[in-house]
Amino acid sequence: MAENKDTLYATDPPLGDFVFDQQVVDVFPDMIKRSVPGYMTIIHMVGQLAERYAQSGTRCYDLGCSLGASTLAMRHRIQAADVELVAIDNSSDMINRCKIVLDADSAEVPVALRCEDLEQSDIENASVVVMNFTLQFIPVARREALIRRIYQGMVPGGVLILSEKLTFDNAHHDNLMTELHHYFKKTNGYSEMEIARKRNAIENVLIPESLESHKARLANAGFTGTELWFQCFNFSSLLAFKPSE
């Protein structure tokens, strides 16, 4: 499928709050690659991690799957027998396009695609759960309940891969990371105007937290061995484990 360039914030009048609608779907692969440093590395490693941690007879979840990048990476690498992938997103525009992407792929692991609010979804018998830049869109006060439900739905020895945009408690470091991220976007062809408008559009929608807050929440829910395995500026990915019995 041809990849359309993201020019959503280049045109007047500027769009309102950011939503995952058809306009975003049409440019999403280009948008996320030019906006999230390390995105392709993280997707590649999600495949490797799923290969290692997927257990026979269990499910692997992609929560906030968008166009299914993590689902496809897992589907291409999982070797364990009798594994089902479950890809969930609450944007029907995303899910409709994701179905086309998955149908065009011939790998064998079955995928159940669900258009659901992941705060209401059943999560059961999961050996791998991926939340790749999705928790950041859930209201902060409801994040703990969701992380607990994920933990309850996992099998012993299961892994959660949690990728998030971060804030930093030190205001100087926080500004620096934001500047470095914006410079990354500039080098990827976004204008100062596009960067500023997108920043406004996501301000009330994408709420980043500190690494310490994420680690504390994961520990409260029962996860152990939480490690930061990837960071580029204010974009990160964590591994968290449900202990083996």
Ligand X SMILES: Nc1ncnc2c1ncn2[C@@H]1O[C@H](C[S@+](CC[C@H]([NH3+])C(=O)[O-])CC(=O)[O-])[C@@H](O)[C@H]1O
Task: Determine contact, residues 141/193, Cβ cutoff 8 Å.
Answer: no
Q: What character string, x for contact with ligand PPY (CB under 6 A) and - otherwise, covers 189-218?
A: ---------x---x---x------------
Give every CB contact of residue 229 below 8 A, 6+ residues apart in sequence: 45, 237, 238, 239
Report the nearest approach of ligand PPY to the CB of residue 71 (Å): 18
Q: Which of 14, 11, 38, 36 is nearest to 230 (CA)?
A: 38
Give every CB contact of residue 110 below 8 A, 6+ residues apart in sequence: 84, 85
Of residues 13-42, those binding ligand X (CB under 6 A): 20, 32
Is 164 among the residues that bind ligand X (CB under 6 A)?
no
The residue within the footprint of ligand X, chosen from 133, 151, 190, 233 (CB under 6 A), is 133
Nearer CB in complex with ligand PPY: 126/130: 130
Measured on CA atoms in the order 206, 212, 217, 223, is the torsion positive or negative?
positive
Is 9 among the residues that bind ligand X (CB under 6 A)?
no
Work out the widest C-alpha separation in the chain, in whole angstroms: 57
Residues forming contacts to ligand PPY in the complex (CB under 6 A) are 18, 31-32, 35-36, 165, 198, 202, 206
Residues forming contacts to ligand X in the complex (CB under 6 A) are 20, 32, 64-66, 69-70, 88-91, 94, 117-119, 132-134, 137-138
